[in-house]
Amino acid sequence: MAIARETDAAAIKIGGASVSRTRLLVLVAVAVLACVLPFLVSDYRTFQFTLALIYAIALLGLNILTGYNGQFSLGHGAFYAVGAYTAAVLMDQFEVAYYWTIPAAGLACFIAGFLFGFPALRLEGLYLALATFALAIATPQILKYDALEHWTGGVQGIVILKPDPPFGLPLSQDQWLYFFTLGVLAILFLCGWNLLRGRTGRAMMAIRDNPIAASALGVNTGLYKTLTFGVSALYTGVAGALGAIVIQFVAPDSFNLFLSVTLLVGLVVGGIASIPGAIFGGVFIVFIPNVAEEISKAAPWAIYGVFLILFMYVMPTGIWGAIRQAYAWLVRQRAA
Amino acid sequence: MDLFLQQTLAGLAIGGVYASVALAVVMIYQATDHFNFAQGEMAMFSTFVAWSLISYGLPYWVAFFLTVIISFAGGLAIERIIVRPVEKAPVLNQIIVFIGLLVIFNSVAGWIFEHTIKPFPSPFPEQPLFGNNYIGMHDTGVIGVTMIMLALVFVFVRHTPLGLAMRAAAQNPESAKLVGVRVGWMLAIGWGLAAAIGSVAGMMIAPVVFLEPNMMVGILLYGFAGALLGGVSSPGGAVIGGFMVGVLENLVGTYVPFVGNELKLTVALVLIVAVLLFKPAGLFGIVTVKRV
């Protein structure tokens, strides 16, 4: 990013932050492309792109925690599940409108994440990974639990209805949900970007890089770590709620360990500690299995696994890291 | 009282399986400071290997020992080929590689052997020992097999030159290198042993839970809980922890009404978090003090 700033002397100020002209142009181009996309492809493809956006939100949440704050979570599927169930139960039992379930799910997950963040404070890297791994494995069982069956529908899950576009807009249901998700994503990405570029973001990264030095500099490590856990869970929970609305169905077994692994795959492939990487990760985890399934039903997971290991060997910074390296190389070539 | 005794003995049998998994986890942890999240799936894959060997018509015990040898070689190969390149990488990268392994084993097992549930034979006769009502023959056999295996591992690690070299490599790699121990290969042997121990655990539990690609997920979780309870820095402690967790799981499932069979994995989760919070070194572990 520093390179982009150096080459583009004419930086544009937006709300106190300076954004280089190249980046702004790319951003506008991406936004325009995202808006025309649902009119170019079929409803089913639109549905898939909506899912990719939803995963991107969840991945940004995981990235805030793991990439920027250095706390590992192999159990973010659990927060995704809490978000999805909050939305589904509110819509099914209390007939709440779908758009109100989004903030409700975010709030529920923020609290859940904040509370899980307390024990997590005492756990370092590997142990936190283990505790969250256990959380991921236990999640489907908790969702199936008898005492909660009245709300959660037990093994059967909950079926919800797809909302119609409001104000008589000439859109199909899938197109409307795509734009709805895109809007939520835009707001959350803007908030995330704002959070990470300022004082809070610096404190989070300082804790990741050297917790002792950070606390010596006056960063309240405990508070920041639990809050980061909460914010991260909020993002993932909002994604879960959107996922429930778009898929129109929640059931315990879709929130198993492999959902958490999927999020990990997206994180690694997109790029750890990068905001745009979340989009690449989301697109990857939605579209690669489609390609792979033509080889075999089990192939998508095998390919996920191979990608996980390969990326760690050759491209540990993910797709976005590779793009940035390539861009830096181009700039150097031009300067030389 | 009868119920209590029955449940305790059954708990010991399944505890033997947890103890084996816990020992496998601790072996790799001691040598490399990692938790091998793929340990369970490796054991599951080994069990599928045993199943295919038996299906080819080999007698049970021949297939059993062949599987142990194949698993040992497999574990050795995984360390050399897949784990070694990330030996010095940050913790996150290593965890991701292990999760990658977990996913690969799980899906490849599903790919080759399909997801249908398969019965796996028990080598022990149907009739309970001495006609008692407390414990079935398979459970007795499981306890026996795990005990023999644990004794063998103990003798190997404590009383052979190779075992000594392995302990040296785990405790102090630099000094071990200086006196001529090939540290890298010791780690690989540790992986091999862990895979072999895991394969025995898999073959012992498969007749109870039936063979399918996801059979070890819950068992690995209880293995981790056992390892943590006993102490990840103490192999003996991890084994005792495994047995304790097995008994605890059965008694809690029987006597605590709201848990039953449905929340068994949640019990493991609570146990893991509780041990990590209140006694991170475990019951028999050494408390480590870090200098900053």
B146-188: per-residue pLDDT in tens? 888 888 888 888 888 888 888 888 888 888 888 888 888 888 8
Q: Touching check for B101 and chain A: CB below 8 Å? A: yes
**Does residue A264 belong to any structural domain of this protein?**
no
Q: Touching check for A258 and chain B: CB below 8 Å? A: yes
Confidence of residue B292 (pLDDT cuts 50, 70, 90): low
**Does residue B284 belong to any structural domain of this protein?**
no
- In a structure prediction context, what are the per-residue pLDDT tens digits for chain A, which is 336 residues long? 444 444 444 555 655 566 677 778 888 888 888 887 877 888 788 888 898 999 999 999 998 888 888 888 888 889 999 899 888 888 887 877 778 888 988 899 999 888 888 877 777 778 888 888 888 888 888 887 777 777 777 777 788 777 777 777 777 778 888 888 888 898 888 888 888 888 888 888 888 888 888 888 888 888 888 889 899 999 999 999 998 888 888 888 888 888 888 888 888 888 888 888 888 888 888 888 777 777 666 677 788 888 888 888 888 888 888 888 888 888 888 887
Q: Do B262 and A144 touch (CB under 8 A)?
A: yes
**Does residue B36 belong to any structural domain of this protein?**
yes
Q: Touching check for A264 and chain B: CB below 8 Å? A: yes
**Does residue B161 belong to any structural domain of this protein?**
yes
B90 CB burial (10 A radius; 0-12, 13-18, 19+): middle
Helix (H, G, I), strand (E, B) or coil at A277: helix
CA dihedral A235, A238, A243, A245 (to 10 degrees): -170
Q: Do A126 and B34 touch (CB under 8 A)?
A: yes
Query: Can you give the CATH number for the domain in which B178 is found?
Result: 1.10.3470
Q: Touching check for A17 and chain B: CB below 8 Å? A: no
Report A:222-241 residues touching B (Cβ under 8 A): none
**Does residue B291 belong to any structural domain of this protein?**
no
**Residues from chain A contacting residue B28 (CB–CB below 8 Å):** none
* Same domain (yes/no): A89, A178: yes
Q: Touching check for B82 and chain A: CB below 8 Å? A: yes
Looking at residue A18, its pLDDT comes to: 65
Structural domains counted in chain A? 3
Residue B94, domain extent = 2-278
* Same domain (yes/no): A14, A124: no
Q: Do A141 and B266 touch (CB under 8 A)?
A: yes
Confidence of residue B45 (pLDDT cuts 50, 70, 90): very high
Q: Which residues contact B9 (CB under 8 A, 6 or more apart)?
A: B134, B135, B139
**Does residue A271 belong to any structural domain of this protein?**
no
Q: Are residues B29 and B281 in contact, defined by beta-carbon separation less than 8 angstroms?
A: no
Looking at residue B196, its pLDDT comes to: 92
**Does residue A99 belong to any structural domain of this protein?**
yes
More confident residue, A318 or B50: B50
Please provide the average confidence, as pLDDT, over all residues in chain B: 84
**Does residue B285 belong to any structural domain of this protein?**
no
Cα gap B210→B121, rounded to integer Å: 9
* Same domain (yes/no): A219, A289: no
Q: Touching check for B216 and chain A: CB below 8 Å? A: no
* Same domain (yes/no): A131, A232: yes
**Does residue B283 belong to any structural domain of this protein?**
no
* Same domain (yes/no): A87, A155: yes
Looking at residue A195, its pLDDT comes to: 86
Nearest to B272 among A130, A268, A309 (CB): A130
Cα gap A191→A196, rounded to integer Å: 9
Cα gap A160→A153, rounded to integer Å: 12
Report A:268-297 residues touching B (Cβ under 8 A): 268, 272, 296-297
Looking at residue A233, its pLDDT comes to: 92
Residue A303, domain extent = 281-336
**How far, rounded to the nearest angstrom, does the alpha carbon of residue A193 sit from its chain's CA centroid?**
13
pLDDT for B264 beyond 50 = yes
* Same domain (yes/no): A35, A54: no
* Same domain (yes/no): A111, A150: yes
Least confidently predicted of A108-112, B22-26, B48-52, B115-119: B115-119
pLDDT for B129 beyond 70 = no
Structural domains counted in chain B? 1
* Same domain (yes/no): A33, A179: no
Confidence of residue B110 (pLDDT cuts 50, 70, 90): confident
**Does residue A158 belong to any structural domain of this protein?**
yes
Cα gap A105→A85, rounded to integer Å: 8
What is the rounded average pLDDT of the residues B213-232?
A: 87
**Residues from chain A contacting residue B266 (CB–CB below 8 Å):** 138, 141-142
* Same domain (yes/no): A67, A199: yes
Q: Quick one: which of A291, A260, A6 has its CA closest to A133? A: A260
Q: What percentage of residues in chain B have a pLDDT greater than 90?
A: 11
* Same domain (yes/no): A67, A159: yes
* Same domain (yes/no): A5, A81: no
ipTM of the complex: 0.84
Looking at residue B195, its pLDDT comes to: 92
* Same domain (yes/no): A167, A295: no
Q: Which tens digits make up the pLDDT trace of B186-222?
A: 888 889 999 999 999 998 888 888 888 888 888 898 8
Cα gap A174→A247, rounded to integer Å: 10
